Chains A and B, each alone.
Chain A
Amino acid sequence: MSVSKSAKLYTVQYNVHKIVTYEDMTKLESSLFFEKISIPIPGDRKIALPIDATIKAYVDFGNFSKENILIEGEKITITLPDPQMELTSSKIDHKNEKEFLSWNRTRFKEKEKDEFLRQGISSILSGMKDTDIIERSRLSAYNALLPLFAAAGFSSENITMCFNEEIENSQHEERTIFNMFHKD
C-alpha cells in the first residue's frame, strides 16, 4: 500500500463498456524428415469477456502556483495544466463471460484471460483519446472553478481560464503563420 498527497480536480466521468473477444487459432508445428510441418488444430476456442470501466479526466493542481494567476485590475487570467485522463476502475461482468469450445480444445485459463483483459484496457484507453473527453474536461473545469473566482469578486466576463496545451498550440499556430509570411 502506498499513500501520497495529491491535488487533482476531476471534472468529467465516462462510463464505458467493451466486449473483449479472442479467437484462438492454434497449430501443431513439428519437423519430419527435416521438413517443417504445421497442422492447424481443428475446432473452436473462443472467448468473450465484457468489461465496464470508468475513466475520469482531471486537472492536476500539484504544481499550481501564483505564477498561474494573473490579476490585472478587475480581470483575472488563470493558466491551468492540460487535463489528463485516468482509468479509475474496471469490473469484469463474470456472469456474462462466454466461452465457445470444441470437444478437442481446452478451456481458457484465468492467466490467459488476464492477458486479454489487459489488452482490452489498453484498447479502451487508446480509444478514449479519440473522444472529446479532454475538451469536455476543460469546459467542466471552467464550470467547477468559476464559483471559486466569482466568489473572490471577479465577474464571469472578467475570468479567463486557459490551458497550457491550448497556449502552446496557439503559439505554434502563430509561429506557423509567421513563418509563412517570413520565409526568407
Chain B
Amino acid sequence: MSAVLEQELPPPHRWIAAQRASDVEITQAVADPLFQPAGRTWWLALLASLPFVLWFFGSIGWLFDQGIGIWGINSTIVWGVAIANYVWWIGIGNAGTLISAMLLLTRQQWRCSINRFAEAMTLFAVAIAGIMPIIHLGRPIYAYWLAPYPNTMALWPQWRSALVWDFWAIVSYLLFSILFWYVSLIPDLATMRDRTRTRAGQLLYGAFALGWRGSAGHWRKLQTLHTTMAALGVPLVCSVHSIVGLDFAASLMPGWQEGIFPPYFVVGAMYSGFAMVVVLALAFRWGLDLQAIITRRHFEVMGKILLMASIVMGYSYATEWFMGWYGGEHSDRSLVAFEFTGTYAPLFWALLFCNVVLPQALWFPAVRRSLPALFAIAIGINIGMWLERILIIWNTLSHDYMPSLWRSFHFTFWDWSFLIAPLGLFAFLFLLFVRLVPAVSMFDMRELAHREGAT
C-alpha cells in the first residue's frame, strides 16, 4: 500500500517516512492488504513452505515410529540437533517479547511498527521450540509425566531436574506471550471488525475484538495492563532463557558448568532474535509495501543494537575461554583447545566469524543504512547462533573427562530434516499470520503519527 502512504524524501518525521500519515491512511496501509485477495507472491511463498511443513510432520512421525536412533546421536553425544534447535528457537522466541517489552518500558517510540510481528515471531518460535525437547525424549508418549497430576503410580515430578524447570518455563512463557500479544491486538481487531465488508470477517474479528469500543477508560486500563505485563515480561524472558542455560550449567560437564551460562544465553537469545526480527522486517516491508511505516531509520537503530549485542557476545566468549584457562582444570583447558583446533574447529571459527567479526561492519553508517548488507549480516548472525548452540553441545560431549569416550557427531538425513523443515513451518505460520492479523500495531502508529505531527 505504498500508494496510500507515499514515500517522499527527505522524510519530515523521525519514524514515519511519509509527508502525511493521517489515521485513515495508516489504517488503510496496514489493514487493507488483508481484505484484498492475496497476491501471487504470497501464494507462491505459501506453496513453497508447504512441503517443509509436511516434511516436518512426516519426520516427527518417522521419529515416533523409529525412535531417536535415526539421528546422529550416540551413547557419548547424547544430545544433538533437537536440543540445539530447542535453544535456538526459544532464543528467537524470547526476543520478540523481550524487544517489545523493553522498548515499551524504555518508551522507544519506534517500537510500534515492529512489536506486533516480533511478538508473533515469539509465539511461533516458542511453539516450535516446545516440540523439540518432547521429540528428544526417548519415550515421548510419557511427556505428560512432567506435569504433577494425581496418578495411580503415586509419582511426582523431580523438581530438582532442569527438564522440569524447562517444562514450566516454556509453558508459562508461551501462555504469557499469547496473552501479551492478544491484549495489544484487541483494539486492532476492533478496527478490522469495523472495516471488513464480509459477514464472516465481521463475525470472526468481532468475536475476537470482544466488543472493544475505544472508550477512554478502557484505553487507560489496557495501557495499565500492557505496561505492567511488559514489566513482568522482561524478568520472565530473562528467567526462561536462564533456565535453558541451567540445563547445561546445572550439569557437571567441562565447558557447561559455568556461572556465566544463564546471562550468556539471554544475550545470545536477544541477539539471534533481533537478527530474526531484522530479517522478518525486511521481508514484511517488501511484501506488504510498508516502506513508510518501517523506515530505514528503524533498520539503522536495529543495526546498532545488533552491534552492541555482538560485542557482548564476544565478551562472553572471551570470558568463557579465560575462565577455562584461569580455573586451571585440565579438562576445561583442553576443552578450550579442542574448540579451537579439534573436530569441529572449522565450525567454531565460522561461528566466531558470524557472531563476532561480521557484525563489526555495522560500525559503518553506510552498512547500517544498506538493507542488503543488513540482511546478509542478520542471516549470518542466525547461522552463527545456531552453530553456537550445536557446538556448546558437541564440543563438551565429544571431549568429556574420559578420553576413551571421545567420539564425534555425524549428521544424518533426519538431523538435516529437523534443522531445515521447522524453518518452513515457521514461514508457513507467518504467512498465515500476515493474512489474518494486522502485522503492524495500528493504534500505536496513529498515536505516533499524532505525536510526530504527521496527521
| A and B: bona fide binding partners | no
